[in-house]
Structure 1
Amino acid sequence: MNTVEQATPQTPGLENLDADTAATVQALYREGADGRKGLFSAEWADRLREDIEAAYAEALGRPGGAVGRGTNRHYVEIHPEQMRGWLELVDHPWVRAVCHAVLGPDYQIIELGFDVPNPGAKDQPWHRDFAMPDETKDTGRLTSLAFNVTAVDTEEDMGPFEIAPTTQWDLPVGFEHEMFPAESLYPRFAELAVRKYPKRGDVSVRSALTVHRGTANTSSKARPVLVLGVDAPGAGNAEHHDMAVTHGFYDSLPDRVRQHLVCPVVDRLTPITQKHSIEGLMMGDA
């Protein structure tokens, strides 16, 4: 396996964390991802699937509602009020504890969306979701997290998510747009690769810098996956997203959740037009 230059990780202090949170923090800094099985019920995940299907149909019905992430693949950003279980997700003790431990007490909830690899989706190129921040390069600290929640039970032929552990620290030498590694590096990722088969109710968390890809969906079923993005203050990813909440919804939230929202509070929600993304261009569908 080719050797690469990596940033030097600086794992946050673990002394004040419960064992479960400490294990996740260590996994994020070591492998780049972790997860918890059965964090929610299958019925909760079924409601999530219903909400995703409704939002997906609406998004596909208007210009700019969905962005291509490769053949027969889309990403759609939504507002929290379009997901009935949003509060239960962001307010779950494990989710809150991990965000606090990795990103600090003032972490910011900045993104809600979903990926849908449909039947016929092909292997994506290996990639990370954004360029490595200077802070991560210089200090070895992670400044953002992505929580993934499957809305279906994942099977082998449904195009499982594939991730290359430890690559969150790879410096982007030979990465186009600092996100897409050169094909000469693919054997390294293939050797490290782990495929994930989450079931309804499972939740994972990862650094989006960990090199990953969606694989080919040869089944007759879609594999929708929710994405919750969370930043440390100053990480800068919020400017790439258009999440908003209404005044009534905001006022209904507990203060411990409100303090982590940095999105606009509006009178009326406007359907989100997906931002033009270099990911879409590089994966073949802008």
Structure 2
Amino acid sequence: MTTNLTSPLPAADVESLTHRLHEDGIIGLPGAFPREWVARLGEDIDTAFAEARARPDGAVGRGPNRFYVEIHPEQLRGFADLAGHPWITAVAEAVLGPDYRIVEVGFDVPLAGAVDQPWHRDFPMPEETARHRRLNSLAVNVTAVDTEADMGPFEIAPGTHWDDGTAFDHGMFPPREAYPRYRELAVRKFPRMGDISIRSALTVHRGTANHSAKSRPVLVLGLDAPGAGNDERHDTAVTREFWASLPDSVRAHLHCPIVDTLTPITQKHTIEGLVMGDS
């Protein structure tokens, strides 16, 4: 597959990627962006992270020394490049339909000393997926650094997006007696700057212990099929000036308030934080 930020993805590639996504719950797409673009992304994440940690409820804990921050799209200089990347748009349209929506922009930051998270999903399985085996949301991840083995790499158990989650605590956290299966299935991911992944957030996963002195920031772009409802968990907004600067192809998928002045986002996910903090 050839990296090109403007060319549409060939139909055969789209079919192959969506098949793998359906089977594994995650696909990797190497070299989606130049390293220079990712370096700017890392700068924007660092700025937003410092601002969020300086105010109450600006960042939510996801376990010791591990944080999540939701941000507004215009806090990223490369938002339009990301939201309009042909690999992302092609897979999103194939899986979620042509009217998919951008509902979340945020990032995870495992700092030095972060511990193994419990295995989890990001939210309970929706009825549509449980009944009809249809995915109605996707998460795009973009690493801001080259991931090394001691930095607490992301670990995921392919195929577990279809697991029955009725016994999961809060619909998200499987019982500990299920952990041996997830450990057996688990694959650790070592993306480099420029790589992206697209996954179902239902695929059981965890962040692992960061034994290095470095952080491992990862951007998250959340996408929904119409009616999926994950927008209710997020507070995305844009200013009128930023909205006017976006291409029509991006605005078509960004259904959020258009405001004169942005309000800093107060983080949610309190149950998740409590459970992960107890890990």
Same fold? TM cut 0.5: yes
Conserved 8 A contact 2:80-2:247: no
Distance 2:67 2:75 in 1: 17
Match of 1:45 among 17, 38, 41: 38
Paired-residue identity, %: 66
- In structure 1, stretches of 5+ residues that fail to align are 1-15
Partner-residue secondary structure (3-state), 1:181? coil
Q: Which residue of structure 2 aligns with residue 233 of structure 1?
A: 226
Q: Structure 1, residues 143-198: CA drift from partner, whole Å, max 9, x if none?
A: 00000000000000000000000000001132101100000000010000000000
Match of 1:249 among 242, 247, 251: 242
Distance 1:253 1:60 in 2: 29
Answering whether residue 254 of structure 2 is matched by residue 266 of structure 1, we say no
- Cα RMSD of the aligned pairs, angstroms, is 1.1
Distance 1:125 1:93 in 2: 34
Conserved 8 A contact 2:153-2:189: yes
Partner-residue secondary structure (3-state), 1:189? helix
Q: Which residue of structure 1 aligns with residue 196 of structure 2?
A: 203
Match of 1:121 among 93, 114, 117: 114
Q: Which residue of structure 1 aligns with residue 5 of structure 2?
A: none
Deviates more, 1:207-216 or 1:34-43: 34-43
Q: Which residue of structure 1 aligns with residue 273 of structure 2?
A: 280
Q: Structure 1, residues 186-243: CA drift from partner, whole Å, max 9, x if none?
A: 0010000000000000000000000000000000000000000000000000010011
Shift in CA distance, 41/232, structure 1 to aligned 2, threshold 3 Å = same
Q: Structure 1, residues 88-142: CA drift from partner, whole Å, max 9, x if none?
A: 0110111111110000011000000000000000000000000000000011100
Distance 1:282 1:153 in 2: 29
Conserved 8 A contact 2:103-2:236: yes
Match of 2:158 among 165, 171, 176: 165
Q: Which residue of structure 1 aligns with residue 102 of structure 2?
A: 109
Q: Which residue of structure 2 aligns with residue 5 of structure 1?
A: none
Q: Post-superposition shift, 1:251?
A: 1.3
TM-score by length of 2: 0.95
Q: Post-superposition shift, 1:17?
A: 6.7
The 5-angstrom pairing of residues 14-29 of structure 1 reads: 18-29=11-22
Answering whether residue 114 of structure 2 is matched by residue 98 of structure 1, we say no
TM-score by length of 1: 0.93
Amino acid in structure 2 at the alignment position of 1:112 = V
Partner-residue secondary structure (3-state), 1:52? helix
Distance 1:242 1:284 in 2: 24
Partner-residue secondary structure (3-state), 1:205? strand
